[in-house]
Structure 1
Amino acid sequence: MVKVYSQNRDTQFIEIQVKEFPKRHEFTKNKIKTINFELLLWNLLNKIPLKKFFHLFNKCCPRCERKFSEIFIDYYITKQTDCKKCRFKTIFFTTIITFVLNAVSKSLNIPKNRFPEILKENIPLKKLTLSYIEGIGKFGIKVPTIPIGPPVVFWSVTHKCNLNCTHCYVDQDTEELSFVDACNIIDQLSEAKNFILIFFGGEALLRSDIFDLMNYASKKNINIALASNGTLITADIAKKIKETGVGYVQVSIDGLKDVHEQIRGNRTYEKSISAIKYCLNEGLYTCIGTTITKQNVHQIYELV
Protein backbone atom coordinates (compact mmCIF):
# COMPACT_ATOMS: atom_id res chain seq x y z
CA MET A 1 0.00 0.00 0.00
CA VAL A 2 1.37 3.43 -0.97
CA LYS A 3 0.12 6.81 0.22
CA VAL A 4 0.16 9.54 -2.41
CA TYR A 5 0.08 13.13 -1.16
CA SER A 6 -1.30 15.85 -3.43
CA GLN A 7 -2.21 19.49 -2.90
CA ASN A 8 -5.63 20.74 -3.98
CA ARG A 9 -5.13 24.22 -5.50
CA ASP A 10 -8.69 25.37 -4.71
CA THR A 11 -8.83 24.42 -1.03
CA GLN A 12 -5.09 24.54 -0.27
CA PHE A 13 -5.49 21.37 1.79
CA ILE A 14 -3.47 18.21 1.51
CA GLU A 15 -5.44 15.20 0.29
CA ILE A 16 -4.32 11.64 0.88
CA GLN A 17 -5.08 8.96 -1.66
CA VAL A 18 -4.38 5.33 -0.93
CA LYS A 19 -3.39 3.20 -3.90
CA GLU A 20 -3.22 -0.56 -3.89
CA PHE A 21 -0.43 -2.07 -5.98
CA PRO A 22 -0.47 -5.67 -7.20
CA LYS A 23 1.28 -8.18 -4.98
CA ARG A 24 4.33 -9.97 -6.33
CA HIS A 25 2.51 -13.27 -6.81
CA GLU A 26 -0.11 -11.50 -8.97
CA PHE A 27 2.55 -10.87 -11.63
CA THR A 28 1.17 -13.20 -14.30
CA LYS A 29 3.12 -16.06 -15.82
CA ASN A 30 2.25 -14.74 -19.29
CA LYS A 31 3.96 -11.44 -18.48
CA ILE A 32 7.08 -13.27 -17.32
CA LYS A 33 7.08 -15.35 -20.52
CA THR A 34 6.77 -12.19 -22.63
CA ILE A 35 9.74 -10.54 -20.88
CA ASN A 36 11.85 -13.69 -21.22
CA PHE A 37 10.99 -13.90 -24.93
CA GLU A 38 11.93 -10.24 -25.50
CA LEU A 39 15.26 -10.72 -23.70
CA LEU A 40 15.98 -13.84 -25.75
CA LEU A 41 15.12 -12.00 -28.98
CA TRP A 42 17.41 -9.05 -28.18
CA ASN A 43 20.24 -11.41 -27.19
CA LEU A 44 19.92 -13.18 -30.54
CA LEU A 45 19.90 -9.86 -32.42
CA ASN A 46 23.05 -8.79 -30.60
CA LYS A 47 24.84 -11.94 -31.79
CA ILE A 48 23.88 -11.48 -35.45
CA PRO A 49 26.46 -9.37 -37.37
CA LEU A 50 23.96 -6.71 -38.55
CA LYS A 51 26.21 -3.67 -38.16
CA LYS A 52 27.21 -3.51 -41.85
CA PHE A 53 23.56 -3.88 -42.85
CA PHE A 54 22.73 -0.59 -41.08
CA HIS A 55 25.82 1.40 -42.20
CA LEU A 56 23.60 2.93 -44.87
CA PHE A 57 21.91 5.06 -42.17
CA ASN A 58 24.98 7.31 -41.97
CA LYS A 59 25.58 7.57 -45.71
CA CYS A 60 24.07 10.00 -48.24
CA CYS A 61 21.86 9.35 -51.24
CA PRO A 62 23.99 9.95 -54.40
CA ARG A 63 21.11 11.74 -56.13
CA CYS A 64 19.50 14.01 -53.51
CA GLU A 65 22.69 14.15 -51.37
CA ARG A 66 20.71 13.93 -48.14
CA LYS A 67 21.69 11.66 -45.27
CA PHE A 68 19.64 8.47 -45.27
CA SER A 69 18.88 8.80 -41.55
CA GLU A 70 17.20 12.16 -42.25
CA ILE A 71 15.35 10.76 -45.28
CA PHE A 72 14.05 7.83 -43.20
CA ILE A 73 12.86 9.98 -40.28
CA ASP A 74 11.14 12.43 -42.65
CA TYR A 75 9.38 9.53 -44.39
CA TYR A 76 8.30 8.19 -40.98
CA ILE A 77 6.76 11.61 -40.26
CA THR A 78 5.21 12.51 -43.63
CA LYS A 79 4.99 9.18 -45.52
CA GLN A 80 6.41 11.04 -48.53
CA THR A 81 9.74 11.02 -50.38
CA ASP A 82 10.73 13.14 -53.36
CA CYS A 83 13.78 11.14 -54.44
CA LYS A 84 12.94 8.19 -56.71
CA LYS A 85 16.51 6.85 -56.41
CA CYS A 86 16.20 6.08 -52.70
CA ARG A 87 12.44 5.41 -52.53
CA PHE A 88 12.69 1.60 -52.14
CA LYS A 89 15.45 1.84 -49.50
CA THR A 90 13.44 4.49 -47.67
CA ILE A 91 10.29 2.36 -47.46
CA PHE A 92 12.24 -0.79 -46.50
CA PHE A 93 14.43 0.72 -43.77
CA THR A 94 11.69 2.98 -42.39
CA THR A 95 9.62 -0.15 -41.80
CA ILE A 96 12.49 -1.51 -39.70
CA ILE A 97 13.17 1.64 -37.68
CA THR A 98 9.43 2.08 -37.04
CA PHE A 99 9.72 -0.78 -34.52
CA VAL A 100 12.48 1.14 -32.74
CA LEU A 101 10.53 4.41 -32.84
CA ASN A 102 7.42 2.69 -31.47
CA ALA A 103 9.52 1.48 -28.54
CA VAL A 104 10.81 5.04 -28.02
CA SER A 105 7.28 6.49 -28.08
CA LYS A 106 6.17 3.84 -25.59
CA SER A 107 9.04 4.67 -23.22
CA LEU A 108 8.06 8.37 -23.44
CA ASN A 109 4.40 7.47 -22.82
CA ILE A 110 3.40 8.97 -26.19
CA PRO A 111 0.76 7.21 -28.36
CA LYS A 112 2.58 5.79 -31.38
CA ASN A 113 0.06 7.34 -33.79
CA ARG A 114 0.90 10.81 -32.40
CA PHE A 115 4.67 10.37 -32.27
CA PRO A 116 5.30 11.40 -35.94
CA GLU A 117 3.35 14.63 -35.40
CA ILE A 118 5.28 15.41 -32.20
CA LEU A 119 8.62 14.76 -33.95
CA LYS A 120 7.59 17.18 -36.70
CA GLU A 121 6.89 19.95 -34.18
CA ASN A 122 9.70 19.27 -31.68
CA ILE A 123 13.02 19.79 -33.50
CA PRO A 124 15.28 18.90 -30.51
CA LEU A 125 13.38 15.64 -29.99
CA LYS A 126 13.70 14.91 -33.70
CA LYS A 127 17.47 15.44 -33.43
CA LEU A 128 17.62 13.08 -30.46
CA THR A 129 15.73 10.44 -32.45
CA LEU A 130 18.13 10.93 -35.38
CA SER A 131 21.02 10.43 -32.95
CA TYR A 132 19.68 6.99 -32.02
CA ILE A 133 18.98 6.05 -35.66
CA GLU A 134 22.53 7.02 -36.64
CA GLY A 135 23.75 5.13 -33.58
CA ILE A 136 22.16 1.99 -35.06
CA GLY A 137 24.01 2.81 -38.29
CA LYS A 138 27.35 2.94 -36.48
CA PHE A 139 27.00 0.37 -33.67
CA GLY A 140 24.18 -1.88 -34.92
CA ILE A 141 21.11 -2.82 -32.88
CA LYS A 142 22.15 -2.87 -29.23
CA VAL A 143 20.30 -3.09 -25.93
CA PRO A 144 20.21 -0.38 -24.79
CA THR A 145 20.41 1.50 -28.11
CA ILE A 146 23.58 3.61 -28.38
CA PRO A 147 23.17 7.17 -29.75
CA ILE A 148 25.67 8.63 -32.22
CA GLY A 149 26.46 11.50 -29.82
CA PRO A 150 25.85 12.49 -26.18
CA PRO A 151 22.13 13.20 -25.53
CA VAL A 152 22.90 15.29 -22.42
CA VAL A 153 26.02 17.42 -21.87
CA PHE A 154 27.02 19.22 -18.65
CA TRP A 155 29.33 22.13 -19.46
CA SER A 156 31.30 24.08 -16.87
CA VAL A 157 31.57 27.32 -18.85
CA THR A 158 33.46 29.16 -16.09
CA HIS A 159 35.14 28.36 -12.78
CA LYS A 160 34.51 31.85 -11.43
CA CYS A 161 32.17 31.97 -8.45
CA ASN A 162 30.87 34.59 -6.02
CA LEU A 163 30.63 32.06 -3.17
CA ASN A 164 33.10 29.87 -1.30
CA CYS A 165 31.10 26.75 -0.45
CA THR A 166 32.59 24.31 2.05
CA HIS A 167 32.29 21.32 -0.31
CA CYS A 168 33.64 23.05 -3.43
CA TYR A 169 36.81 21.82 -5.14
CA VAL A 170 36.82 24.13 -8.20
CA ASP A 171 39.98 26.11 -9.02
CA GLN A 172 38.67 29.60 -9.80
CA ASP A 173 41.85 30.63 -11.62
CA THR A 174 41.18 28.29 -14.55
CA GLU A 175 41.01 30.07 -17.92
CA GLU A 176 37.74 30.26 -19.84
CA LEU A 177 37.30 29.33 -23.48
CA SER A 178 36.89 32.30 -25.80
CA PHE A 179 33.43 33.04 -27.19
CA VAL A 180 34.51 31.82 -30.64
CA ASP A 181 35.86 28.52 -29.26
CA ALA A 182 32.75 28.05 -27.11
CA CYS A 183 30.50 28.58 -30.15
CA ASN A 184 32.61 26.05 -32.04
CA ILE A 185 31.90 23.47 -29.33
CA ILE A 186 28.17 24.24 -29.56
CA ASP A 187 28.37 23.72 -33.33
CA GLN A 188 29.98 20.31 -32.76
CA LEU A 189 27.35 19.36 -30.18
CA SER A 190 24.59 20.36 -32.59
CA GLU A 191 26.19 18.25 -35.32
CA ALA A 192 26.37 15.34 -32.85
CA LYS A 193 22.58 15.66 -32.27
CA ASN A 194 22.98 16.86 -28.67
CA PHE A 195 19.53 17.07 -27.03
CA ILE A 196 20.14 18.92 -23.74
CA LEU A 197 23.03 21.27 -22.89
CA ILE A 198 23.36 22.26 -19.24
CA PHE A 199 25.44 25.35 -18.44
CA PHE A 200 27.00 25.44 -14.98
CA GLY A 201 30.19 26.54 -13.23
CA GLY A 202 31.53 27.85 -10.88
CA GLU A 203 28.66 30.26 -11.23
CA ALA A 204 27.68 30.32 -14.90
CA LEU A 205 26.09 33.79 -14.62
CA LEU A 206 29.52 35.30 -13.86
CA ARG A 207 30.63 34.58 -17.41
CA SER A 208 30.28 37.87 -19.32
CA ASP A 209 28.93 36.29 -22.51
CA ILE A 210 26.73 33.61 -20.91
CA PHE A 211 23.49 35.00 -22.38
CA ASP A 212 25.02 35.14 -25.85
CA LEU A 213 26.19 31.52 -25.51
CA MET A 214 22.79 30.29 -24.32
CA ASN A 215 21.06 32.20 -27.10
CA TYR A 216 23.47 30.75 -29.69
CA ALA A 217 22.89 27.20 -28.44
CA SER A 218 19.13 27.73 -28.43
CA LYS A 219 19.22 28.80 -32.09
CA LYS A 220 20.98 25.51 -32.85
CA ASN A 221 17.83 23.69 -31.65
CA ILE A 222 19.44 22.40 -28.47
CA ASN A 223 17.38 22.32 -25.27
CA ILE A 224 19.12 24.64 -22.80
CA ALA A 225 19.31 24.33 -19.02
CA LEU A 226 21.09 26.49 -16.43
CA ALA A 227 22.46 25.48 -13.02
CA SER A 228 23.08 28.41 -10.66
CA ASN A 229 23.53 29.15 -6.96
CA GLY A 230 20.71 31.67 -7.44
CA THR A 231 22.32 34.61 -5.65
CA LEU A 232 22.68 36.63 -8.87
CA ILE A 233 19.19 35.97 -10.23
CA THR A 234 16.95 39.03 -9.98
CA ALA A 235 13.59 39.58 -11.68
CA ASP A 236 15.39 41.16 -14.65
CA ILE A 237 17.97 38.36 -14.89
CA ALA A 238 15.21 35.72 -14.76
CA LYS A 239 13.46 37.49 -17.64
CA LYS A 240 16.72 37.59 -19.60
CA ILE A 241 17.29 33.87 -18.96
CA LYS A 242 13.82 33.14 -20.33
CA GLU A 243 14.47 35.26 -23.44
CA THR A 244 17.59 33.26 -24.36
CA GLY A 245 15.51 30.11 -24.76
CA VAL A 246 16.43 28.39 -21.47
CA GLY A 247 13.65 26.03 -20.44
CA TYR A 248 15.02 24.61 -17.18
CA VAL A 249 16.77 26.25 -14.23
CA GLN A 250 18.32 24.51 -11.23
CA VAL A 251 18.96 26.59 -8.11
CA SER A 252 21.23 25.25 -5.36
CA ILE A 253 19.61 24.84 -1.93
CA ASP A 254 21.73 22.79 0.46
CA GLY A 255 19.45 22.63 3.47
CA LEU A 256 17.23 24.77 5.63
CA LYS A 257 18.42 28.34 6.22
CA ASP A 258 20.90 27.64 9.03
CA VAL A 259 22.69 24.74 7.34
CA HIS A 260 22.49 26.27 3.85
CA GLU A 261 24.29 29.40 5.08
CA GLN A 262 26.87 27.36 6.99
CA ILE A 263 27.74 25.77 3.65
CA ARG A 264 27.30 28.72 1.26
CA GLY A 265 27.68 31.84 3.39
CA ASN A 266 25.55 34.45 5.14
CA ARG A 267 22.48 35.93 3.44
CA THR A 268 22.57 33.40 0.60
CA TYR A 269 19.43 31.46 1.52
CA GLU A 270 16.89 34.23 0.95
CA LYS A 271 18.57 35.21 -2.33
CA SER A 272 18.32 31.64 -3.61
CA ILE A 273 14.68 31.34 -2.55
CA SER A 274 13.92 34.64 -4.29
CA ALA A 275 15.69 33.35 -7.42
CA ILE A 276 13.35 30.36 -7.51
CA LYS A 277 10.32 32.66 -7.28
CA TYR A 278 11.63 34.95 -10.04
CA CYS A 279 12.22 31.98 -12.36
CA LEU A 280 8.78 30.52 -11.67
CA ASN A 281 7.20 33.91 -12.37
CA GLU A 282 8.83 33.80 -15.83
CA GLY A 283 7.35 30.37 -16.50
CA LEU A 284 10.71 28.59 -16.28
CA TYR A 285 10.71 24.94 -15.21
CA THR A 286 12.61 25.32 -11.93
CA CYS A 287 14.00 22.85 -9.42
CA ILE A 288 16.46 22.82 -6.54
CA GLY A 289 19.81 21.03 -6.55
CA THR A 290 21.25 19.74 -3.28
CA THR A 291 24.78 18.52 -2.65
CA ILE A 292 24.38 15.97 0.15
CA THR A 293 27.15 16.06 2.76
CA LYS A 294 27.56 15.24 6.45
CA GLN A 295 26.50 18.82 7.19
CA ASN A 296 23.03 18.54 5.69
CA VAL A 297 22.12 14.85 5.35
CA HIS A 298 19.99 15.04 8.52
CA GLN A 299 17.78 17.73 6.91
CA ILE A 300 17.05 16.09 3.57
CA TYR A 301 13.57 14.79 4.44
CA GLU A 302 12.61 18.13 5.97
CA LEU A 303 14.01 19.98 2.94
CA VAL A 304 11.99 17.84 0.52
Structure 2
Amino acid sequence: MKASAFSYARASSVVDALELLARHGDQAKVLSGGQSLMPALNLRLSAPELLVDIGAIDELRGISVASGVLRIGALTRHVDVLKSAEIAKHAPLLTEAIAHVAHPAIRNRGTFGGSLAHADPASELPACVLALDAVILVRSKDGERRIQAADFFTGIYETLLASDELLVAVEIPVAKPNAVHFFHEYARRKGDYAIVGLAASGILSGDVLTDLRLGYFAVGDKPMLATATEHLTGRPVTASMLADAQAALDAELDPQEDQQASVGMRRYLARQLMARCVSALLERPDLETKALA
Protein backbone atom coordinates (compact mmCIF):
# COMPACT_ATOMS: atom_id res chain seq x y z
CA MET A 1 0.00 0.00 0.00
CA LYS A 2 1.17 3.53 -0.74
CA ALA A 3 0.37 6.88 0.80
CA SER A 4 -2.59 8.86 -0.45
CA ALA A 5 -1.81 12.02 -2.42
CA PHE A 6 -0.54 15.01 -0.45
CA SER A 7 1.19 18.33 -1.02
CA TYR A 8 4.69 18.94 0.29
CA ALA A 9 6.39 22.05 1.70
CA ARG A 10 9.95 22.27 3.02
CA ALA A 11 10.04 24.90 5.78
CA SER A 12 13.12 27.13 5.81
CA SER A 13 12.68 28.37 9.39
CA VAL A 14 10.53 27.94 12.48
CA VAL A 15 8.55 31.03 11.47
CA ASP A 16 7.96 29.55 8.01
CA ALA A 17 6.82 26.22 9.51
CA LEU A 18 4.45 27.95 11.95
CA GLU A 19 2.88 29.99 9.16
CA LEU A 20 2.21 26.81 7.19
CA LEU A 21 0.72 25.07 10.23
CA ALA A 22 -1.45 28.07 11.06
CA ARG A 23 -2.74 28.20 7.49
CA HIS A 24 -3.52 24.49 7.10
CA GLY A 25 -4.40 23.46 10.67
CA ASP A 26 -5.17 19.80 11.24
CA GLN A 27 -4.89 19.10 7.50
CA ALA A 28 -1.10 19.36 7.84
CA LYS A 29 1.43 16.93 9.33
CA VAL A 30 4.96 17.75 10.45
CA LEU A 31 7.78 15.62 9.02
CA SER A 32 10.97 15.53 11.11
CA GLY A 33 12.85 12.21 11.04
CA GLY A 34 9.94 10.44 9.40
CA GLN A 35 10.62 7.05 11.01
CA SER A 36 7.08 6.82 12.40
CA LEU A 37 5.20 9.10 10.02
CA MET A 38 6.26 7.51 6.73
CA PRO A 39 5.02 4.01 7.64
CA ALA A 40 1.77 5.55 8.88
CA LEU A 41 1.35 7.36 5.56
CA ASN A 42 2.05 4.22 3.53
CA LEU A 43 -0.46 2.24 5.59
CA ARG A 44 -2.94 5.15 5.23
CA LEU A 45 -3.26 5.43 8.97
CA SER A 46 -2.57 9.11 8.37
CA ALA A 47 -3.70 11.05 5.30
CA PRO A 48 -2.75 14.75 5.55
CA GLU A 49 -3.32 17.20 2.75
CA LEU A 50 0.06 18.82 3.39
CA LEU A 51 3.37 17.49 4.69
CA VAL A 52 5.48 20.21 6.34
CA ASP A 53 9.12 19.10 6.27
CA ILE A 54 11.10 20.78 9.08
CA GLY A 55 14.28 18.78 8.49
CA ALA A 56 16.26 21.78 7.20
CA ILE A 57 15.69 23.99 10.26
CA ASP A 58 19.09 23.98 11.98
CA GLU A 59 17.88 26.06 14.94
CA LEU A 60 15.89 23.02 16.10
CA ARG A 61 19.02 20.88 16.47
CA GLY A 62 21.60 20.62 19.20
CA ILE A 63 22.30 19.91 22.86
CA SER A 64 23.33 22.60 25.34
CA VAL A 65 23.63 23.18 29.09
CA ALA A 66 23.03 26.51 30.83
CA SER A 67 21.90 27.57 34.30
CA GLY A 68 21.37 24.01 35.49
CA VAL A 69 19.20 23.03 32.53
CA LEU A 70 19.96 20.57 29.73
CA ARG A 71 18.27 21.62 26.49
CA ILE A 72 17.72 19.20 23.61
CA GLY A 73 16.51 20.58 20.29
CA ALA A 74 13.54 18.81 18.77
CA LEU A 75 15.42 17.76 15.62
CA THR A 76 18.35 16.27 17.53
CA ARG A 77 18.72 12.75 16.24
CA HIS A 78 18.64 9.70 18.52
CA VAL A 79 22.20 8.84 17.56
CA ASP A 80 23.39 12.30 18.60
CA VAL A 81 21.75 11.89 22.00
CA LEU A 82 23.35 8.46 22.34
CA LYS A 83 26.85 9.83 21.61
CA SER A 84 26.56 13.11 23.54
CA ALA A 85 28.99 13.62 26.44
CA GLU A 86 26.65 16.29 27.87
CA ILE A 87 23.75 13.83 27.93
CA ALA A 88 25.91 11.13 29.51
CA LYS A 89 26.99 13.55 32.23
CA HIS A 90 23.75 15.36 32.99
CA ALA A 91 21.01 12.86 31.99
CA PRO A 92 22.60 9.39 31.80
CA LEU A 93 19.15 7.79 31.85
CA LEU A 94 18.71 8.98 28.26
CA THR A 95 22.04 7.51 27.17
CA GLU A 96 21.01 4.13 28.51
CA ALA A 97 17.43 4.24 27.27
CA ILE A 98 18.03 5.46 23.75
CA ALA A 99 20.24 2.46 22.97
CA HIS A 100 17.00 0.45 23.20
CA VAL A 101 15.16 2.56 20.63
CA ALA A 102 14.53 0.37 17.58
CA HIS A 103 17.67 -0.26 15.46
CA PRO A 104 20.68 1.80 14.27
CA ALA A 105 19.04 2.72 10.97
CA ILE A 106 16.06 4.18 12.84
CA ARG A 107 18.25 5.95 15.42
CA ASN A 108 20.28 7.55 12.64
CA ARG A 109 17.19 9.33 11.28
CA GLY A 110 14.69 9.48 14.12
CA THR A 111 14.51 12.65 16.22
CA PHE A 112 14.06 13.30 19.92
CA GLY A 113 11.17 15.72 19.46
CA GLY A 114 9.54 13.53 16.84
CA SER A 115 9.37 10.61 19.26
CA LEU A 116 7.69 12.77 21.91
CA ALA A 117 5.21 14.33 19.49
CA HIS A 118 4.32 10.89 18.09
CA ALA A 119 3.50 9.76 21.67
CA ASP A 120 3.57 6.02 21.12
CA PRO A 121 2.71 4.56 24.56
CA ALA A 122 5.30 1.80 24.03
CA SER A 123 8.14 4.24 23.28
CA GLU A 124 11.07 4.72 25.61
CA LEU A 125 11.59 8.49 25.42
CA PRO A 126 8.16 9.68 26.61
CA ALA A 127 8.62 7.65 29.81
CA CYS A 128 12.15 9.03 30.20
CA VAL A 129 11.04 12.66 30.09
CA LEU A 130 8.44 11.84 32.75
CA ALA A 131 11.11 10.29 34.96
CA LEU A 132 13.42 13.29 34.42
CA ASP A 133 10.71 15.89 35.17
CA ALA A 134 11.26 17.54 31.81
CA VAL A 135 9.56 20.57 30.33
CA ILE A 136 8.46 20.47 26.69
CA LEU A 137 8.62 23.71 24.73
CA VAL A 138 6.08 24.23 21.96
CA ARG A 139 5.64 27.27 19.77
CA SER A 140 2.91 28.77 17.60
CA LYS A 141 2.52 32.10 15.84
CA ASP A 142 1.03 33.42 19.08
CA GLY A 143 4.06 32.57 21.20
CA GLU A 144 5.66 29.79 23.23
CA ARG A 145 4.20 27.40 25.79
CA ARG A 146 6.09 25.41 28.41
CA ILE A 147 4.35 22.13 29.22
CA GLN A 148 5.36 19.74 31.98
CA ALA A 149 6.07 16.31 30.56
CA ALA A 150 3.66 14.83 33.12
CA ASP A 151 0.83 16.79 31.45
CA PHE A 152 1.94 16.54 27.81
CA PHE A 153 0.81 13.00 26.93
CA THR A 154 -2.96 12.56 26.86
CA GLY A 155 -3.63 9.23 25.11
CA ILE A 156 -2.57 6.84 22.36
CA TYR A 157 -0.61 9.03 19.90
CA GLU A 158 -2.19 12.08 21.53
CA THR A 159 -0.60 15.07 23.26
CA LEU A 160 -1.42 18.66 24.24
CA LEU A 161 0.31 19.82 21.05
CA ALA A 162 -2.20 21.84 19.00
CA SER A 163 -2.39 21.57 15.21
CA ASP A 164 -0.77 25.00 14.78
CA GLU A 165 2.07 24.31 17.24
CA LEU A 166 5.55 22.93 16.79
CA LEU A 167 7.55 21.10 19.43
CA VAL A 168 10.85 23.00 19.45
CA ALA A 169 12.88 21.71 22.42
CA VAL A 170 12.94 19.79 25.68
CA GLU A 171 14.47 21.11 28.90
CA ILE A 172 15.67 18.74 31.63
CA PRO A 173 17.12 19.68 35.03
CA VAL A 174 20.73 18.52 35.17
CA ALA A 175 21.39 15.56 37.43
CA LYS A 176 21.78 16.48 41.11
CA PRO A 177 24.52 15.15 43.39
CA ASN A 178 23.81 11.53 44.40
CA ALA A 179 21.40 11.13 41.48
CA VAL A 180 20.64 7.55 40.45
CA HIS A 181 18.76 6.11 37.51
CA PHE A 182 17.40 2.84 36.20
CA PHE A 183 16.17 1.63 32.83
CA HIS A 184 14.94 -1.73 31.67
CA GLU A 185 12.37 -3.03 29.24
CA TYR A 186 11.02 -6.47 28.46
CA ALA A 187 10.84 -7.14 24.73
CA ARG A 188 10.73 -10.31 22.68
CA ARG A 189 13.81 -9.22 20.72
CA LYS A 190 16.13 -6.23 20.99
CA GLY A 191 14.63 -3.39 18.99
CA ASP A 192 11.06 -4.71 19.21
CA TYR A 193 8.34 -2.70 20.89
CA ALA A 194 8.48 -3.12 24.65
CA ILE A 195 6.04 -5.43 26.37
CA VAL A 196 6.57 -3.42 29.58
CA GLY A 197 9.31 -0.92 30.40
CA LEU A 198 10.46 1.36 33.21
CA ALA A 199 12.58 4.52 33.25
CA ALA A 200 13.40 5.82 36.73
CA SER A 201 15.37 8.55 38.44
CA GLY A 202 15.92 9.51 42.06
CA ILE A 203 18.32 10.71 44.72
CA LEU A 204 20.12 8.26 46.99
CA SER A 205 21.15 9.49 50.45
CA GLY A 206 22.82 6.65 52.27
CA ASP A 207 20.24 3.88 52.13
CA VAL A 208 17.25 6.19 51.60
CA LEU A 209 15.66 7.15 48.29
CA THR A 210 14.10 10.57 47.68
CA ASP A 211 12.62 12.28 44.62
CA LEU A 212 11.95 8.85 43.10
CA ARG A 213 10.15 9.06 39.74
CA LEU A 214 9.05 5.86 37.98
CA GLY A 215 8.04 6.34 34.35
CA TYR A 216 6.37 3.21 32.99
CA PHE A 217 5.70 2.59 29.31
CA ALA A 218 3.68 0.00 27.39
CA VAL A 219 1.31 -0.35 30.35
CA GLY A 220 -1.61 1.73 29.06
CA ASP A 221 -2.66 4.34 26.53
CA LYS A 222 0.17 6.72 27.53
CA PRO A 223 3.35 6.69 29.63
CA MET A 224 2.55 6.60 33.33
CA LEU A 225 4.29 8.28 36.27
CA ALA A 226 3.64 5.95 39.18
CA THR A 227 2.46 7.43 42.48
CA ALA A 228 3.28 4.22 44.37
CA THR A 229 6.73 5.69 45.05
CA GLU A 230 5.35 7.20 48.27
CA HIS A 231 5.84 3.75 49.82
CA LEU A 232 9.53 3.68 48.87
CA THR A 233 10.95 7.06 49.83
CA GLY A 234 12.04 8.86 52.98
CA ARG A 235 13.19 5.83 54.97
CA PRO A 236 15.14 2.61 54.42
CA VAL A 237 13.17 0.26 52.19
CA THR A 238 12.06 -3.09 53.60
CA ALA A 239 10.54 -6.06 51.81
CA SER A 240 7.19 -5.15 53.36
CA MET A 241 7.40 -1.58 52.02
CA LEU A 242 8.23 -2.90 48.56
CA ALA A 243 5.26 -5.26 48.68
CA ASP A 244 3.00 -2.35 49.63
CA ALA A 245 4.39 -0.30 46.74
CA GLN A 246 3.79 -3.17 44.32
CA ALA A 247 0.20 -3.50 45.51
CA ALA A 248 -0.33 0.25 45.07
CA LEU A 249 1.21 0.08 41.60
CA ASP A 250 -1.12 -2.74 40.65
CA ALA A 251 -4.09 -0.56 41.59
CA GLU A 252 -2.77 2.26 39.36
CA LEU A 253 -2.20 0.16 36.29
CA ASP A 254 -4.73 -0.18 33.47
CA PRO A 255 -2.81 -2.25 30.91
CA GLN A 256 -4.22 -3.45 27.62
CA GLU A 257 -4.12 -6.93 26.13
CA ASP A 258 -2.63 -7.42 22.68
CA GLN A 259 -0.72 -10.03 20.68
CA GLN A 260 2.39 -9.52 22.83
CA ALA A 261 0.97 -9.92 26.31
CA SER A 262 -2.12 -10.39 28.43
CA VAL A 263 -3.25 -7.89 31.05
CA GLY A 264 -2.06 -10.21 33.81
CA MET A 265 1.37 -10.61 32.25
CA ARG A 266 1.84 -6.85 31.99
CA ARG A 267 0.81 -6.35 35.62
CA TYR A 268 3.26 -9.03 36.73
CA LEU A 269 6.15 -7.59 34.69
CA ALA A 270 5.46 -4.06 35.95
CA ARG A 271 5.63 -5.24 39.56
CA GLN A 272 8.85 -7.12 38.91
CA LEU A 273 10.38 -4.07 37.22
CA MET A 274 9.65 -2.05 40.35
CA ALA A 275 11.44 -4.64 42.50
CA ARG A 276 14.34 -4.82 40.08
CA CYS A 277 14.61 -1.02 39.99
CA VAL A 278 14.59 -0.50 43.76
CA SER A 279 17.01 -3.38 44.27
CA ALA A 280 19.42 -1.91 41.70
CA LEU A 281 19.21 1.68 42.98
CA LEU A 282 19.86 0.61 46.57
CA GLU A 283 22.31 -2.15 45.61
CA ARG A 284 20.11 -4.53 47.61
CA PRO A 285 19.72 -7.78 45.62
CA ASP A 286 17.85 -9.27 48.58
CA LEU A 287 14.85 -7.04 47.84
CA GLU A 288 14.43 -8.40 44.33
CA THR A 289 14.96 -11.96 45.55
CA LYS A 290 12.24 -11.60 48.20
CA ALA A 291 9.86 -9.96 45.71
CA LEU A 292 10.28 -12.91 43.35
CA ALA A 293 9.86 -15.51 46.08
Whether these two folds match at TM > 0.5 is no
More helix by share: 1
More strand by share: 2
Structure (1 or 2) with the larger CA radius of gyration: 1
Select the structure with the greater relative contact order (CA < 8 A; seq sep ≥ 6). Answer: 2
Normalised to the residue count of structure 1, the TM-score between the two structures is: 0.29
